[in-house]
Amino acid sequence: MDTVNVLAQEKPKSIKLADGKEYTLPPIDMTTLANIEKTMGIGGKVFADKMGVEPMQSLQLFTYALLKEILPEITREQAGRLIGLKELPQFAETISIVLAISS
């Protein structure tokens, strides 16, 4: 039986965005989740509900909140422009992890 260390620190993830640059996303920990909720103005459960109604606006808002952790000066529109169709699968995986943790 494999044992999982639940206290192991989450590692930062790198992702190449539509501008061709490589970004290191912050590790998804309690502080990051709290900051994302604060920036978005909603919690994980409400965000999941909004995804069903306004998927692109919700993805843009989440992208903005996550990138704001590493680029404090970024705007919501700038963040949305960094995620093209090619980058969506990687971001979808990150969002799934966050929603699983915070719901």
pLDDT computed for residue 102 by the predictor: 57
Dihedral angle at the C-alpha atoms of 74, 81, 93, 23, nearest 10 degrees?
Answer: -50
Per-residue pLDDT of 5-55, as tens digits, reads 545 566 777 788 889 998 888 777 888 888 888 988 888 778 888 888 988
DSSP assignment letter at 96? H
Count CB neighbours of 28 within 10 A.
20
**Residue 15 and residue 23 in contact, taking contact as beta carbons nearer than 8 Å:** yes
DSSP assignment letter at 43? -
